[in-house]
Structure 1
Amino acid sequence: MTIDEVVLLLKASQATGLTTFQEIILRSSWSGKTYTNIACEADYGEERVRQVAAHLWQLLSDFCKEPINKSNFRQTLENHRLSKAHQQLVKEFNRAATAISLEFPSGAVSLNSRFYIPRLPIEELAYAEMAEPGSVICIKAPKKMGKSSLILRLLARASNQGFRTVTLDFQQADKAVFASLDKFLRWFCANVSRELQLEPKLNDYWDEDMDSKVSCSIYFQEYLLSALSSPLVLVLNEVDWVFEYQEIAGKLLSLVRTWHEQAKGVEIWQKLRLILVYSTEILVPRKLTQSPFNIGLTINLPPFTKEQVENLAQRHGLDWTDGKDAESLMAMVGGHPYLVRLALYHLVGKGGLERDLGQLLQQAPTEAGIYHEYLRQFVLALGEKPELGNAFYEVINATNYVKLEPALADKLQSMGLINLEGDRSTPACELYRLYFRQYLKTSVQNSGCNSTATFDRKLRSEKGFDLFE
């Protein structure tokens, strides 16, 4: 059994289910943590942890028909397979729970959702780094890969540990905020102040005769951090929106580096824990790549593995234990979390199986498929950058792999459209190859050249309006 199967078995078999605290003990014990560690992280007394754990070991002993304790918990259960009766119990539990809690995959996966799939060891690495004084974490991935869901869990962990938390979303800033570095940093400091429920006192610390970065640092050190009795986790979300303003972006990132360096020698800066989040669709200008993206912990969110896809299918009430359906879905969409979840949502929507996987996959690369709206976002992006469309056309029509100009390959990889191994480019998944090839092939035949302009006109004529206005 896996730890997920252990948790599901107990949830399915107990009339009262499984409490969050019980699940924490199970998962923490599985990963080798001591009762003392668990008590500290969960903010419970160690004796309470031991009492709850003893009850769990007894339940598992009854299931396995042999003694289970903390020391042999993982070793015993990893070698123990679910009986057919227990498999059916878990299956029925998943179906019943799914009918009640099915969620359309949009935005962050909520903290209490059964559909969040941990991507160990990423979560544990991020939790550990966040606990370090003056730490910096950079989380990057294409859109809909799970960044928001991970951030939600980091913030929850920080709050549980008594940390203060603030999230700034640069996407919500008015364009006027980026008119100058001074205006941007004042907006930045004012918003952090309000989120901490502190009165903004910019004029008390801002000196026009000094560099704006210096004033910003003084404001943080002498006012914001000094007012806090616990560490501050500051999440800078959608940092890629600042990249359009390279001068401001460069100054902000160098400021982050400075604060990280100051934490090594100035105690008050150790209170600050920074998390920078950005989508890789916006390629970081080369002049910005040195600061701060090469400090602290960098997290690249990977696709789901086959085991994770099977786990998620099980949570949707589907019996994919033979692995064939998971392989079929991944052959089309890879392990992209959103594309996988959207498929599972449509398979079990409205309380039951409304279509078979084969039909869903057959329609996937067409305008009648469930991914059409998602794919149209790439249509927009490729239409705005014809050189990218031409490069992608080469990749999806190659029988093996293509060697692209490095800048174009980097951009297509950052968008999540291709896989890049060394200088070899291949489509990220079969869905992209099939969907875009049907348009680009017609466009090339009609125009006699690799023109995304023709591609754009074809789409506009089909839809009766201009996608790019």
Structure 2
Amino acid sequence: MNLKEMLKFADDIVFAKTGQHLDDLQETVLRGTLQHETYKQIAKDFDFSESRVREVGSELWRLLSEELGEDIHKSNLRSAIERFQVSIVSHWEQHHNQIGSFNICGETLHSPDIPNSQPPNQETSNPKETKTLHQDLSEMPELGNFFDRTSELQTLTTWILQQNSRLLALTGRLGIGKTTLAVKLVQQIKEEFEYVIWCSIDASHTPDEFEHKLIQFFSLSEKQDLSPTNQKRLPLIKYLQNHRCLIVLDDVHNLFCSGELAGKYKPDYEEYRSLFKQIEKISHQSCFLLIGWEQPREVTQFKNQNTPIRTLQLKGLDIAAGREILRDCGLEEIDNSEALIHRYEGNPLWLKSVANLIQDLGIDATELLIDDTILLPEDLKDVLQQQFDRTSELEKQVMSLLATENQPVNLAKLLEKGQISSSDLLNALQSLSRRCLIEKEGSLYTLPPVLKEYIKGL
């Protein structure tokens, strides 16, 4: 039984006992309990007192205990519900009695206490198999060539489907393959969700417009009760709680200011911060996947594996995939192609750019590799400029310092060389790291060779 089915089961019992459905607080306590949250966490999420949450929980456990015939408490709720479902189905299968109707998880089962009722239809299929799927992937790019990312796909799939992470950030340098990986992921897991939508963020997506777009998608797809009392659309978080939803936000870097440290929202876009915090803090069964080479500060700072937030920084492709890219660009055989792939860090876009230049000009790639030459085709410069232009003046200073170093350097050496305070330097390094523009080896910092060559040429 999934979370939605368990909540429906509990609602049926409470309605049968009291004549009233679960109210918002009762549902919140049940949802939090089924997701292994403490009373303190549940109270904090919804701004209730812990004593009030405990009181509501105690009354719910009493009602459920009377119906299920065993002592229900916070720690055994899930297992008790599942045992009851198994026992009632087993009872029907063994005795084929005529039993009264009792609704569990969207299927009509029956109680032996009510005579002269019909048995359930044996041909009724599993609710998971018959649930309606609603998908809007009109903004999702075509997959195109996909190179092996087995490990990354498995990691994301585990976080989403097994660990029920609510907020995922997929980050990495421009051209590294973030969107391509996300498209492949969505293709593989979309059937696990009732609602799937892909949104490409641009300047027109103000917080209100974005939230309205999602609510409109959910409400138009949902079977609506036409009674006057149910005409009002639900808040976004309610849809995320009532349904298993996957929402992909591509190009989230468009939410943030240019010329500032990473993750500073544009004017009038601050409400996105509240949205992301709500998605993290409030219990629900949905997942937001954020794609971009700059991420919200409230996302990237979380490293604790106990939080519902995860960040995956995508690295370059391996040697085999890099060689496949070179072959696709017409470079069938290159001696020591491994060195070329390492030099451009397995970045698919960077490799395609330099491979096309080599092919167009007929350059001997072997000679290119002898003296560590780094070619910067104009289209690659344009890509690098997009990210460089977004950085603050402070970050530009730090990158200029790093570009003069042949070896990774520590914080003390950077302080010694530059006219930057330690506080400003630390903030700049953190921001550059969030943008994936520098590399860190222990306590040492360095620029990737391609970026170093670009900055030297400015």
TM-score in terms of structure 1 length: 0.52
CA contact (8 A) 2:247 2:289 kept: yes
- Aligned-pair distance for 1:156? 1.1
Are 1:154 and 2:185 counterparts?
Answer: yes
- The size of the alignment, in residue pairs, is 291
What CA distance in whole angstroms lies between the structure 2 residues aligned with 1:258 and 1:286?
12
1:335-346 pair list within 5 angstroms: 335-346=346-357
For structure 2, the 5+ residue unaligned runs are 1-138, 256-262, 415-424
Amino acid across the alignment from 1:300: Q
- Aligned-pair distance for 1:204? 3.8
Q: Indicate the structure with greater helix content.
A: 1
Amino acid across the alignment from 1:374: V
1:34-433 pair list within 5 angstroms: 110-111=142-143, 113=144, 115-132=145-162, 134-136=164-166, 137-159=168-190, 164-171=195-202, 173-174=204-205, 177-178=206-207, 183=208, 186-193=211-218, 196=221, 204-205=231-232, 215-221=235-241, 225=243, 231-242=244-255, 244=265, 247-259=270-282, 262-263=283-284, 269=285, 272-280=286-294, 284-285=296-297, 289-290=301-302, 294-316=307-329, 318-320=331-333, 324-331=336-343, 333-348=344-359, 354-357=362-365, 365=375, 369-382=378-391, 385-402=392-409, 403=411, 404=414, 405-429=425-449, 431-433=450-452
- Aligned-pair distance for 1:203? 9.0
- Aligned-pair distance for 1:295? 2.4
- Aligned-pair distance for 1:197? 7.9
What CA distance in whole angstroms lies between the structure 2 residues aligned with 1:200 and 1:355?
68
Deviation readout 1:184-242 (Å, 9 max, x if unpaired):
574253353378588899994469xxxxxxx33235445xx3xxxxx432213333444
Equivalent residue number for residue 91 of structure 1: none
Single out whichever of 119-128 and 164-173 deviates more from structure 2: 164-173
Partner secondary structure for residue 396 of structure 2: helix
What CA distance in whole angstroms lies between the structure 2 residues aligned with 1:273 and 1:379?
31
- Structure 1 residues 395, 154: closer, same or farther in 2, change over 3 A? same
CA contact (8 A) 1:170 1:238 kept: yes
CA contact (8 A) 1:142 1:414 kept: no
Amino acid across the alignment from 2:311: T
CA contact (8 A) 2:173 2:436 kept: yes
Amino acid across the alignment from 1:392: M
- Aligned-pair distance for 1:117? 1.2
- Structure 1 residues 411, 237: closer, same or farther in 2, change over 3 A? same
- Structure 1 residues 415, 124: closer, same or farther in 2, change over 3 A? same
What CA distance in whole angstroms lies between the structure 2 residues aligned with 1:342 and 1:110?
20
CA contact (8 A) 2:280 2:309 kept: no
Amino acid across the alignment from 1:276: L
Amino acid across the alignment from 1:433: K
Q: RMSD value over aligned CA atoms?
A: 4.0
Deviation readout 1:68-94 (Å, 9 max, x if unpaired):
xxxxxxxxxxxxxxxxxxxxxxxxxxx
- Aligned-pair distance for 1:167? 1.3
What CA distance in whole angstroms lies between the structure 1 residues aligned with 2:299 and 2:324?
42
What CA distance in whole angstroms lies between the structure 1 residues aligned with 2:238 and 2:223?
16
Deviation readout 1:338-383 (Å, 9 max, x if unpaired):
101222344456xxx84443687898556x655232233245235x
- Structure 1 residues 189, 370: closer, same or farther in 2, change over 3 A? closer
- Aligned-pair distance for 1:397? 0.6
- Structure 1 residues 342, 197: closer, same or farther in 2, change over 3 A? farther
Amino acid across the alignment from 1:376: Q
What CA distance in whole angstroms lies between the structure 2 residues aligned with 1:435 and 1:328?
17
Deviation readout 1:283-335 (Å, 9 max, x if unpaired):
x436983599952543221122334322433455544475x12303533x222
Partner secondary structure for residue 276 of structure 1: strand
What CA distance in whole angstroms lies between the structure 1 residues aligned with 2:366 and 2:141?
27
Amino acid across the alignment from 2:401: E
What CA distance in whole angstroms lies between the structure 2 residues aligned with 1:422 and 1:288?
19
Identity across matched positions, percent: 13
Point out the structure with max Rg over C-alpha: 2
Deviation readout 1:374-396 (Å, 9 max, x if unpaired):
233245235xx222221111101
TM-score in terms of structure 2 length: 0.53
For structure 1, the 5+ residue unaligned runs are 1-106, 208-214, 226-230, 264-268, 440-469
What CA distance in whole angstroms lies between the structure 1 residues aligned with 2:223 and 2:366?
56
Partner secondary structure for residue 248 of structure 2: strand
- Structure 1 residues 319, 186: closer, same or farther in 2, change over 3 A? closer
CA contact (8 A) 2:299 2:309 kept: no
- Structure 1 residues 256, 346: closer, same or farther in 2, change over 3 A? same
Amino acid across the alignment from 1:153: K
Deviation readout 1:224-270 (Å, 9 max, x if unpaired):
x3xxxxx43221333344450574233112221234xx34xxxxx3x
- Structure 1 residues 419, 186: closer, same or farther in 2, change over 3 A? closer
What CA distance in whole angstroms lies between the structure 1 residues aligned with 2:308 and 2:142?
30
CA contact (8 A) 1:365 1:371 kept: no
CA contact (8 A) 2:177 2:348 kept: yes
1:2-41 pair list within 5 angstroms: none
Deviation readout 1:30-69 (Å, 9 max, x if unpaired):
xxxxxxxxxxxxxxxxxxxxxxxxxxxxxxxxxxxxxxxx
